[in-house]
Amino acid sequence: MNPQRRPLILDVDTGSDDALAILTALLSPEYFEVLGICTVHGNRPLPNTTENTLRVVQLLGSDVPVIQGCAKPIVAGIDKLRGMRARANEKQLNGQEKVAYHAEYLDLPPALRGPLPGTRAPLWYIDTLMKADRKVTLVMVGPLTNFALAYRIEPRILEHVEEIVIMGGGHDQHNATGASEFNIFMDPEAAAVVFECGEHVPLTVMPLDATHHANMRPRHEAIFRSWGSAVGDFVAEMIRDRLDAYNVMQPLHEPDIAPIHDALCLIYLIDQSVITLKKRVRGDVVCGGIADGATLFDTRYFTDAPKNCTVCLATDEDKFASLLIEIFSRAK
Ligand code: RIB
Ligand code: CA
């Protein structure tokens, strides 16, 4: 077996870019043995993110288990004032037309199977990791509620973790509020717990500073559309949805770009050279207050703060796009 092939658990809030991350993992069997995909609240409510995940898995005819997780953050939802400033997921244009980063339900056939019965993600993490005969890589691309709870229940699970890669946070880039990124903002306390895990296992953080340069563009949409296949059409639709949403709701450094935030975590595990700047730093999360959900990466050369993560700060966009196209072409 390919020594590079690593046992992998995904944690998602599917989600248009989560969907492309799932496709990337499942279409790269030489790199990943996907043990399970855990779902969490975030882009849409938990029932939606779970159904959407099942639909994406079904698109590839995969039988990988989907494990339903937490419907709410650990504590952030209790204080109603803390969520007041979060960005909207969609915007009503004139008439009936609207744009959204993430559809309520992905435009795929309804799932024929449900989530794994008799368990929930935090408990499944503990059961699966404690029994694992090889250390497992975790890629988490939504709010971090599920794993934070699993670790608080059974800290020994970290002995079975190879490394953790999360999409979240922002050093100079933010999207949920002026200080925070969406995944972290949705459950800052859970994120703080995962950053604590970084003191015990390798933690790589993929913030917006890196993912805002992990883009698909209209020319890429056209490539996928030209395939005339179910996967090609779905990928093209996800890109188009994101291009429209960003142009209307969140213009970035240039028009007509669609960040595929979550897929960058998988592409990085396949080819680390896609990240052109990364630093070993101390990372912390602000919980509550005006900067609720902010991630603080101490990049000072002279700091003596104990380092707990590698933060990725720049991306080779062409390499990202070409690797993504190559991987998706396997399902042409
Ligand atoms: O801020 C980007 C992140 O928020 C991505 O994971 C996207 O799917 C949303 O969850
Ligand atoms: Ca996500």
The DSSP H or E segment spanning 59 is helix 46-59
3-state helix, strand, coil in the chain (%, to 5): 40, 20, 40
Instruction: Give the closest ligand to the alpha carbon of residue 10.
Output: 2
What the block records as the tokens of 110 is 């309804």
DSSP output for 241-269: HHHHHHHHH---SSSS-EE-TTHHHHHHH
If pLDDT is split at 50, 70 and 90, which confidence band does 103 have?
Answer: confident
Task: Give the strand pairing for 98-100 and 309-315.
Answer: unpaired
Angle between helices 263-270 and 16-26 (to 10 degrees): 30
Alpha carbon distance 24, 11 (integer Å)? 14
- Which residues contact ligand 1 via a Cβ below 6 A? 13, 15, 17-18, 42-43, 141-142, 167, 175, 181-183, 261-262
Pocket test for ligand 1, best of 18, 173, 205, 242 (most atoms within 8 A of CB): 18
At position 16, the amino acid (one-letter code) is S
pLDDT in the model for residue 81? 74
For residue 132, the CA-to-ligand 1 centroid distance in Å is 29
Name which of 115, 106, 109, 108 is nearest 16 in CA terms. Answer: 106
User: How far is residue 143's CA from residue 236's CA, in Å, rounded to a whole number?
Assistant: 26
CA of 233 to the centre of ligand 1 (A): 22
Mean pLDDT of 30-45: 98
Substitution candidate for ligand 1 out of 167, 252, 312 with most atoms within 8 A of CB: 167
Nearest to residue 77, comparing CAs of 118, 109, 41?
41
Q: How many CB atoms lie within 10 A of CB 27?
A: 19
Q: What span, in angstroms and rounded, lies between the C-alpha atoms of 164 and 173?
A: 22
* Residue 168 clears pLDDT 90, i.e. is over it: yes
Percent of the chain with pLDDT over 70: 96
Q: What is the pLDDT of residues 235-255, one digit of tens each?
A: 999 999 999 999 999 999 999
Atom number in ligand 1 closest to CA 211: 2
Mean pLDDT on 137-155: 98
Among all bound ligands, the one having the nearest atom to the CA of 182 is 1
Percent of the chain with pLDDT over 90: 87
Provide mean pLDDT across the span 264-280. Answer: 98
Contacts of 322 (CB under 8 A, 6+ apart): none
Distance CA 278, CA 209 (A): 11
| DSSP conformation class of 114 | -
Kindly give the number of the ligand 1 atom that is closest to the alpha carbon of 141: 6
* Confidence check: pLDDT of 4 > 80: no
Running DSSP on this structure, what letter comes out for residue 116?
P
What is d(CA 262, CA 283) in angstroms, rounded to the nearest whole number? 20
Tell me the CA–centroid distance for residue 262 and ligand 1, in Å. 7
pLDDT at position 37, please?
Answer: 99
With contact defined as beta carbons under 8 Å apart, do 102 and 109 qualify? no
pLDDT band for 175, please (50, 70, 90 cuts): very high
The answer to whether the beta carbons of residues 307 and 314 sit under 8 Å apart is no
Model-level pTM? 0.96
Residue of 242, 252, 261 with the most ligand 1 atoms within 8 Å of its CB, for mutation: 261
Which amino acid appears at position 28 of this protein? S
What does the pLDDT average to over 223-243?
97
Range 214-225 average pLDDT: 98
Task: Report the separation in Å between the CA atom of 314 and the middle of ligand 1, taken as the mean of its atom positions.
Answer: 17
Residue closest by Cα to atom 10 of ligand 1: 142
Q: Ligand 1, closest atom to CA 167? A: 6
Residue type, 9: I
Q: Is the dihedral of CA 276, 281, 286, 291 positive or negative?
A: negative
Here the tokens at position 108 are: 């795929």
C-alpha to C-alpha distance for 311 and 198, rounded to whole angstroms: 11
Kindly give the pairing relationship between strand 66-68 and strand 215-216: unpaired
What's residue 89's pLDDT? 67
Catalytic positions are: 261
15 C-alpha to center of ligand 2: Å? 6
The DSSP element (H or E) to which 208 belongs, if any, is helix 208-211
